Amino acid sequence: MNQKKVIVTGGMGYIGSHTTVALIEGGYKVIIIDDLSNSDLSTLDGIEKITGIRPEHYQIDLKNSVETLRTFQEHNEAIAVIHFAALKAVGESVNLPLQYYKNNLLSLINVMEAMKQMNISKLIFSSSCTVYGQAKELPVSESSPILKANSPYGNTKQVCEEILMDEAQTDTSIRSISLRYFNPIGAHPSAFIGELPLGVPNNLMPFITQTAAGIRQELKVFGSDYNTADGTAVRDYIHVMDLAQAHIAAMNKLIADTTDKKYDFYNVGTGNGYSVLEVIKSFEKMSGKQLNYLLTERRAGDIEAIYAATEKSSAELNWKPQYTLDNMTDTAWRWQQSLGKKA
């Protein structure tokens, strides 16, 4: 029996690698495209340790339309694409807007053009809750208004979704789903793969774990004067393996769906808002480590608070998160400890 083949762009990254594991365990054959600009080849070793399978990997830049098409031509029997590949740091995007627009928009356009030439009709797009901007009411649902993005990164996700919606109006359209992620943290329970930022982390959890491990001198908490219970920013943190399973659920829907609807979008979060200080307290409890952290000024591009309404993803994707906040911080710490052993 032939395995269903899925092309995963950015499959060596944090969410991409965990979704690759979930796909392989679900019986799919995965082809990874990743330029390794913010990932490491050693991630393939971790995927192989967990699944017993080493996916095929192409190190190409998706901004190059010729290389993109050539790679898709080699795998024209693929049934779907999951597109993760993108620059993703909110703060960095404020300083490097042109780089973010060029990378995130052009890579999606090239992937979609290659899909159409190869008659690959199903696409799952890695979107973000940043498309909502600073929501006026919480929790945000899929019917919440799309407000002005607070960062170039968030705006690239808004524009990419508009590209998908416009394409869905054409006769030869790609059937696609955007998954609007909230804040993924944690690592695979095996501690063979996890979040592996190159250089100084932009996300909260690896900065927490690296501070606990002594790699960073202190953790800066950006903003302590927000209108929240403890003054720090509130986010909907979701375990990366729950997020990976949401992609499997979305894939199942795309394969089974016989309706005329060619584009849809779903929140992928837990429905719970946790402050930065609550995450720190959970980490300290699960690790037994006291963190050296400093409350400092707000960071450009950050919003005050956001968390998801998840009724639509639960009902239509038949998906619900399983991991608690303590599970998330615990697996993140065990991943960091495994990195220390490797070093």
- Read off the pLDDT of residues 160-191 as tens digits, 9 standing for 90 and up: 999 999 999 987 779 999 999 999 999 999 99
- The mean predicted confidence, pLDDT, of the chain is 94
- Model confidence pLDDT, tens digit, residues 195-220: 988 888 888 999 999 999 999 999 99
Q: Domains, the chain, ranges and CATH?
A: 5-186+237-269 (3.40.50.720)
Q: Determine which one of 100, 153, 237, 266 is catalytic.
A: 153
Instruction: Tell me how far apart the alpha carbons of residues 255 and 171 are, in angstroms, rounded to a whole number.
Output: 19
C-alpha 294/C-alpha 215 separation (Å) is 16
- The three-class DSSP label of residue 4 is coil
pLDDT confidence band for 50 (50 / 70 / 90): very high
Catalytic residue status for 132: no
Residue 12, C-beta contacts closer than 8 angstroms, at least 6 positions apart: 32, 34, 36, 39, 40, 41, 43, 44, 57
What is the distance between the alpha carbons of residues 17 and 158, in angstroms, rounded to a whole number?
24
Residue 342's pLDDT band, with cuts at 50, 70 and 90, is low
- What pLDDT, on a 0 to 100 scale, did the predictor assign at position 341? 65
d(CA 343, CA 72): 36
**What is the pTM assigned to this prediction?**
0.95
Question: Which of the residue ranges 6-15, 60-69, 232-241, 299-308 would you say has the lowest mean pLDDT?
Answer: 299-308
